[in-house]
């Protein structure tokens, strides 16, 4: 068992040993410490349940993964990647925080921030499109979160509106790090285009995943399709697709099947709908650039006129969400 539980020792309690002497006993959080409630989401290898800490009454989202299924389907590596990535990303309000992990005979448990308002995709679908102000507000938070992730050496690689959750303040929380790339922090100061995976033990695996790509094709960067290689700028491609989608109501590259979607991506075959805001268009045109090295870097995105009037940084997370329009 390689699995090491996170934050398992959450407190110590003084108890008396058999000789009546006080000893500090470590208290571990476990399944028994939570009351499980409604189902928040279901994936192919996991179920996310709302749960309340019996002692603190704090609410969490608990991701429950079936061990047998994970082992049978050879997904152990991805479960570990998700845990390792989340363990590097515990100090940002825009990332779903991992509080504890534990297990029982059957399952692994990830105790996460609860994002009560669900997926950004659901909110967008209800609204059809967002106006510029709403788009700026959500995009700024996503961007600030990407900047933090990248500064911590994590490339998400599957950013899309389903993986952007919202809390009750309508602040975003990025989730689903199962396909993240974890960079060697010492070597990742490369100007933002790449960096190596730790010792690159994943090379063969990534090849396999790129070839048997499943999931949402619409946000995949051209470099992943052509070179089977993702870099930090690949997340910025996805970010460009998300900003486009918030304003247009649909992603820029969409066809009736994955193959045709991929063809559109590598040909940069997309168009803006009539009336698309010109400043947003300018930003997106600088993000949806085939060569990842020529995509606008994060600092330039932050200072792009589209984000005029919004402070990207700490104050962002105290800002009140605009009324959805």
The only residue of 49, 51, 96, 280 in contact with ligand ADE, by rule CB under 6 A = 96
Contact window for ligand ADE (CB under 6 A) among 70-78, 112-120, 253-261, 296-304:
112-120
Residue 3: phi, psi to the nearest 5?
-60, 120
Closest contact distance (angstroms) between CB of 123 and ligand ADE is 13
In whole angstroms, give the CA distance from residue 60 to residue 48.
10
Helices (H), 162-202: none
Interface pattern 22-41 for ligand ADE (x via CB under 6 A): ------------------xx
Cα-to-chain-centroid distance, residue 250: 20
Tokens of 231: 């870099």
CB-nearer residue toward ligand ADE: 165 or 284: 165
CB-nearer residue toward ligand ADE: 175 or 221: 175
**Which helix (H) or strand (E) is 81 found in, with range?**
helix 76-88
| Catalytic choice (33, 113, 158, 176) | 158
Does position 288 bind ligand ADE by CB under 6 A? no
Interface pattern 230-249 for ligand ADE (x via CB under 6 A): --------------------
Q: Is residue 158 annotated as a catalytic residue, yes or no? A: yes
Tokens of 89: 């990303």
Q: C-alpha dihedral over 194, 198, 199, 202, to 10 degrees?
A: -80
In whole angstroms, give the CA distance from residue 307 to residue 161.
19
Tokens of 143: 């961007």
Closest contact distance (angstroms) between CB of 286 and ligand ADE is 32
Site size toward ligand ADE, by CB under 6 A: 11
Does position 124 bind ligand ADE by CB under 6 A? no
**Which helix (H) or strand (E) is 300 found in, with range?**
helix 298-302
CB-nearer residue toward ligand ADE: 38 or 323: 38
Measuring CA to CA, which residue among 143, 160, 138 is closest to residue 321?
138
CB-nearer residue toward ligand ADE: 43 or 278: 43
Cβ pair 110, 96 in contact under 8 A: no
The only residue of 33, 82, 113, 218 in contact with ligand ADE, by rule CB under 6 A = 113
Tokens of 270: 């997309």
Closest contact distance (angstroms) between CB of 42 and ligand ADE is 9
- Interface of this chain with ligand ADE, residues 51 to 80, rule: CB under 6 A: 61
What amino acid positions are annotated as catalytic residues? 158
């Amino acid at each position: 068992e390689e699995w090491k539980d996170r934050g398992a020792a959450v407190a110590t309690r003084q108890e008396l040993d058999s000789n009546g002497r006080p000893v500090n006993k470590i208290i571990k959080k476990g399944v028994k410490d939570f009351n499980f409630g409604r189902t928040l989401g279901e994936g192919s290898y996991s179920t996310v349940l709302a749960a309340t800490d019996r002692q603190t009454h704090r609410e969490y989202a608990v991701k429950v993964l079936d061990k047998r299924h994970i082992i049978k389907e050879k997904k152990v590596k991805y479960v570990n990647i998700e845990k390792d990535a989340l363990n590097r990303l515990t100090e940002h309000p825009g990332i779903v925080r991992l509080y504890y992990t534990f297990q029982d005979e059957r399952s692994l448990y990830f105790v996460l921030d609860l994002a009560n308002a669900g997926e950004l995709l659901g909110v967008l679908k209800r609204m059809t499109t967002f106006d510029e102000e709403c788009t700026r507000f959500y995009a700024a938070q996503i961007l600030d979160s990407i900047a933090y992730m990248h500064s911590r050496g994590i490339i998400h690689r599957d950013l899309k509106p389903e993986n952007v959750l919202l809390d009750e303040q309508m602040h975003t929380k990025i989730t689903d790090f199962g396909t993240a790339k974890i960079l060697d922090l010492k070597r990742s100061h490369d100007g933002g285009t790449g960096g190596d995976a730790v010792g690159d033990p994943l090379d063969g695996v990534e090849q396999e995943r790129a070839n048997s790509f499943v999931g949402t094709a619409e946000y995949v960067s051209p470099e992943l399709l052509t070179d089977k290689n993702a870099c930090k700028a690949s997340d910025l491609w996805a970010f460009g697709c998300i900003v486009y989608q918030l304003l247009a109501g649909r992603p820029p590259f969409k066809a009736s099947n994955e193959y045709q979607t991929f063809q559109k991506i590598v040909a940069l075959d997309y168009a803006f709908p009539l009336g698309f805001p010109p400043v947003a268009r300018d930003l997106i045109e600088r993000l949806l650039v085939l060569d990842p090295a020529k995509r606008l870097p994060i600092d330039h995105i932050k200072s792009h006129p589209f984000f005029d009037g919004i402070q990207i940084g700490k104050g962002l997370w105290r800002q009140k969400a605009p009324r959805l329009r």
